Amino acid sequence: MYASAASSSRNCPTCFLVRPVFSDNRFRVSDFEIPATCPSCAAYGLFGSRRILHERTRAHDATVTLRVVDDPPDRPEWLRETIRLLVHGTTAERERLLGRVARASDADLAKGSDDDWGLGQVAAHLLIVERGVALIGLRLAQGAPPGPTGQPRPAASGITRVGLDTLAGKALATAARLLAEFPAEPDAKSMARHPYYGDLNCFGWLLMLPEHYRAHLEALDQGRPSVL
């Protein structure tokens, strides 16, 4: 927004931007100040003020006071909504996958090798990972042992439509369990080692689920393997 760089000093680490880039006939923020809580702020007429953000325009002056909360009282509701959105997003990606499986022939589902996965292998991998990760995340949140954490690599020879339907049913049931049983005060200190990311807590495990689906489905759409 500004052509000049921010300035600061050792005594008063204040961000003060002075020259707007916008033309005069547009909304203009002429200064943006984040005053430090220190005596030298008196030089700017801000000593003792709780004002944190000030925006001045030609039309009006507005002051916004911010309060940083380390322990928000609505944390349980916030976490519950996070898990709900996570399950909703993962369910949508699973349904996209299953729609693709339903349109494929049995021969297409059986294609693939250990080095070049076919649709059936990708589908089995995604469904197994969803269920496994959801259980790992739930167990960690409850302070329980996480169980096995390795990466499943299905062989094409073992893929059947009936088998994929069974895996999908298990993933669906586990998603419902995650939604119902995730604690309001989860254990965020317990860790389990992810084969690629290293030690993760319950949130580290769970928040990647929708993206895992999206990465593989995007790779299938583009006719390339996914590194995930």
Structure tokens at 145: 């042992």
Task: Give the number of other Cβ atoms within 10 Å of residue 95's Cβ.
Answer: 13
Which pLDDT belongs to residue 60?
57
For the chain, the structural domain boundaries read: 1-68, 75-221
- Residue 193 backbone dihedrals phi, psi, to 5 degrees: -80, 120
Which pLDDT belongs to residue 81?
96
Q: Which fold has domain 75-221?
A: Four Helix Bundle (Hemerythrin (Met), subunit A) (1.20.120)
Asked whether residue 39 carries a pLDDT value surpassing 90, the answer given is no
Which pLDDT belongs to residue 108?
93
Asked whether residue 23 carries a pLDDT value surpassing 50, the answer given is no
Which pLDDT belongs to residue 174?
98
Asked whether residue 137 carries a pLDDT value surpassing 90, the answer given is yes
Q: What is the mean pLDDT of residues 92-115?
A: 95
pTM over 0.75: no
